[in-house]
Amino acid sequence: MKKSLFIGALLALGMAATTSGASTLEEVKARGTLNCGTSTGVAGFSLPDANNVYQGFDVAICRGIAAAVLGDPMAVEFVPTTGKTRFTALSSGEVDVLSRTTTWTFSRDVDLKMDFHGVNYYDGQGFMVPRSLGVTSAKDLDGATVCIQVGTTTELNLADFFRVNGITYEPVPTEKSSESRSLYQAEACDVYTTDASGLASARSTFADPSAHVILPEIVSKEPLGPVTRHGDNQWGDIVRWTLNALISAEELGITQANVAEMAAAPTNNPEINRMLGTEGNLGPMLGLDKDWAHRVIAAEGNYGEIFEKYLGVNTQIGLERGLNAQWTDGGLLYSPPFR
Amino acid sequence: MAQHQDFKKPTFELSMLLYDTRYRSTSFQVIALILFFSLIWWLVNNTMSNLAITGKDIDFSFLVHESNYDINQRLLEYDSRSSHGRAAVLGVLNTLVLSAIGCVTATILGVFVGIARLSKNWIVARIMTVHIEIFRNVPLLLWILLIMSMVAHSFPVPKHFRGADPIATMKLFDSVALTNRGFYIPEPLFSNGFGDMGFFSNSFYISIDLIVILAILIGSIWASGKIKARAKRIQEETGIRPTTWYLRLGVIFIPTILLLVYLGFYLGYPELKGFNFKGGIHLRNSLIALWIALSLYTSAFIAEIVRSGILAVSKGQTEAAGALGIKPNVIMALVILPQALKVIVPPLISNYLNLTKNSSLAIAVGYMDLTGTLMGITLNQTGRELETLLLGMSIYLTISLLISAVINWYNRRNDMVER
């Protein structure tokens, strides 16, 4: 009796031991799936299709990482996060990587202890209004009711824009972007504001997209990119170079169709060879095998292919490449060399 | 003598802590206490060490930094240059406003439904049963979302009020505009007011008019109470109660009305300007949705409490009062309800507390209460989860304890002496 009591007490105290910190790469490999934080549904960026399989531009990044690390682009568990819960989900370890139209800002990078690994979409905040309102500039919006999603940089830019221009507005905050869109469609607000890509995405889901205009003002810089926790540099490198591989692949002309052929034997372009593992030792330096980049590109194609598939002018979303073209085409995409 | 030596004084052994009934309960309590504190210690220690691993610290300095966001429903001066601390205060005020109006309507509705459910009229009683069962058996969040979408989708858009032949018109002699962005009602204004008074080195202002009006009202009610006490004394001395209702009405209303006239009281009507109505008081659709949903939901619980309170009063009381010749409606007011209140008030407190805590669902429709400002946007923009949540929780705790203290005090004061 006495002994069992003491053992019980010891057990209770034994709970105090904290879990040891295995690296994210080991954890993901041991688990066999990648936990990827996405949004709660933004057409073109991350949205489950009719078969409940997540599709989209942000989703493709996670598929690429899963392909690189686990060899299977479908081995991803998608965790929908709201603007409010995303960083908590990441810092608590609920997700391994956040690929969720998240803006890279100083305080998120430094104070929230996040690591941003480049930019997969250069965005900026815009305003959408019904065409019938007859508004042509965001500066005419004095006194308007504006729907925004809470916990986003959008909210801060909005306050700044109206303050700087000396006009007033009435914010209508909502927790999810879907609620914002619903209130906007019910005309419970005059204006819907979010990143311009998000506006195009939202407009594509409306019954009559041509009844809504996106105003010309872009009021902020919104570099969106994948995020990981501070402190696990190896994991951060994997995410960063997965994105760079997608961007470089477009620049070097590696596509989903020809990647197998290019990876089969060394080509006469050494950078392609280094990236695809037919030359040098880049994969093992990352803690992966030599074929990692081959699998990343084979998953959903290069950056350009992914863009055209989910966001491009031929899709419902209908976005131009704009700033998101390769640097050689006058855009901002510029991957460091694979060397 | 020999017997005395045989009787050994019992020495204390460790096992007696468990097997001796004199010590057992104490030792179990000590063990439980130790376990409890080790659990707390483990939680705190675990949090601290995990925070240290992620390189975070506990720091409340964000409260004085600029918030950079706007809040639509402002009871104090506030803009995006104000501090996070001020945003939190606005959130608390919004929570209190919602809880206060919610408690009032929930009580009125709840008492009505509770009494009507006991009605001898079969249809009335059944309808009230349906009301109670519907509202308390569907999650509150769904009611809030349903009412919000009803307001947002079924009321006219402000632009429909425009034009020579508008689709929608203002109600009640053009004083109230019901739109899908909320209801605009006239606001009391004073052309001759005293202005505002700054508190805490002008960090917030309170209208002097409001203070004066409240002071006069409280004074009038006190005076009216004195008249009532005097009437009661005369009744006890002479057996005849003097008619005082007109005196009391006059004492309550005339000073306030005179004051309002002196201040130049008038109503500011809402008017359609630009995108929205301007002027008047704007009850936002989020506030309305929450107010209605919280009132209906809580009223179902209050109704059941009221019913149980009334049923708890023995039928003999009604019969005895009836035997004394008291009229049925007077029996309810003077005999049944005062006794029923004793049963009603304690669970009523807990429903007020529930309503206050349930108001934290407000973010679902974008109402900027404490959960929306401090534990929502501020949390998000600063990333201080632990700090904002701890602060938010302690504010809710304080509000709840205050409500409960006030009502307990009221309950003790009005407690009947039982014989």
Topology, domain A24-122+224-329: D-Maltodextrin-Binding Protein; domain 2 (3.40.190)
Length of chain A (residues): 339
- The answer to whether B149 contacts A112, with C-beta atoms less than 8 Å apart, is no
CB A249 within 8 A of CB A263: no
Would you tell me how many other CB atoms lie within 10 Å of the CB of residue B178?
20
CB B107 within 8 A of CB B305: no
* Cross-chain CB nearest to B181 (options A5, A155, A188): A188
Superfamily of domain A125-220: Periplasmic binding protein-like II (3.40.190.10)
For chain A, positions 231-260, list CB contacts with chain B under 8 A. Answer: 231
Task: Give percent of chain A with pLDDT exceeding 90.
Answer: 60
Question: B139-198, pLDDT tens digit by residue?
Answer: 999 999 999 999 998 898 888 888 777 777 777 777 888 888 889 988 888 887 777 777
CB B289 within 8 A of CB B153: no
In Å, how far from its chain's centre is CA B48? 35
For chain B, positions 11-30, list CB contacts with chain A under 8 A. Answer: 15, 18
CATH code for residues B82-186+275-413: 1.10.3720.10
Residue B96 has pLDDT above 50, yes or no: yes
pLDDT score recorded for residue A298: 94
- On the CB side of A173, CA atoms within 13 Å amount to 30
- The answer to whether B42 contacts A91, with C-beta atoms less than 8 Å apart, is no
pLDDT score recorded for residue A19: 39
Q: Which residues of A touch B54 (CB under 8 A)?
A: 91, 113, 229-231
What are the structural domain ranges in chain A?
24-122+224-329, 125-220
- The answer to whether A173 contacts B385, with C-beta atoms less than 8 Å apart, is no
Residue B238 contacts A where some CB pair is shorter than 8 Å: no
The three-point CA angle A24-A285-A229 to 5° equals 25
- The answer to whether B70 contacts A1, with C-beta atoms less than 8 Å apart, is no
- The answer to whether A190 contacts B18, with C-beta atoms less than 8 Å apart, is no
pLDDT score recorded for residue B127: 94
- The answer to whether B55 contacts A231, with C-beta atoms less than 8 Å apart, is yes
- The answer to whether A187 contacts B372, with C-beta atoms less than 8 Å apart, is no
Residue B163 contacts A where some CB pair is shorter than 8 Å: no
Phi, psi of A281 (to 5 degrees): -140, 35
Q: Which of B60, B92, B62, B97 is nearest to B78 (CA)?
A: B92
Q: Chain A closest CA to B79's CA: distance in Å?
A: 9
Task: Give percent of chain B with pLDDT exceeding 70.
Answer: 96
What are the structural domain ranges in chain B?
82-186+275-413, 188-268
Residue B145's region, left for phi above 0, alpha for psi from -120 to 50, else beta, is: alpha
pLDDT score recorded for residue B268: 83
For chain B, positions 65-84, list CB contacts with chain A under 8 A. Answer: 68-72, 79-81
Question: A72-109, pLDDT tens digit by residue?
Answer: 999 999 999 987 788 889 988 899 999 998 999 888 88
Q: pLDDT class for A272, splitting at 50, 70, 90?
A: very high
pLDDT score recorded for residue A46: 92
Q: Which residues of A touch B33 (CB under 8 A)?
A: none
Q: What is the DSSP letter of A209?
A: G
What span, in angstroms and rounded, lies between the C-alpha atoms of A311 and A120?
12
Question: A176-191, pLDDT tens digit by residue?
Answer: 888 889 899 988 899 9
Average pLDDT, chain B: 87
Q: Which of A24, A138, A35, A136 is nearest to A80 (CA)?
A: A35
- The answer to whether B18 contacts A1, with C-beta atoms less than 8 Å apart, is yes
ipTM above 0.95, yes or no: no
Q: Chain B closest CA to A314's CA: distance in Å?
A: 33
Q: pLDDT class for A12, splitting at 50, 70, 90?
A: very low
Residue B132 has pLDDT above 90, yes or no: yes
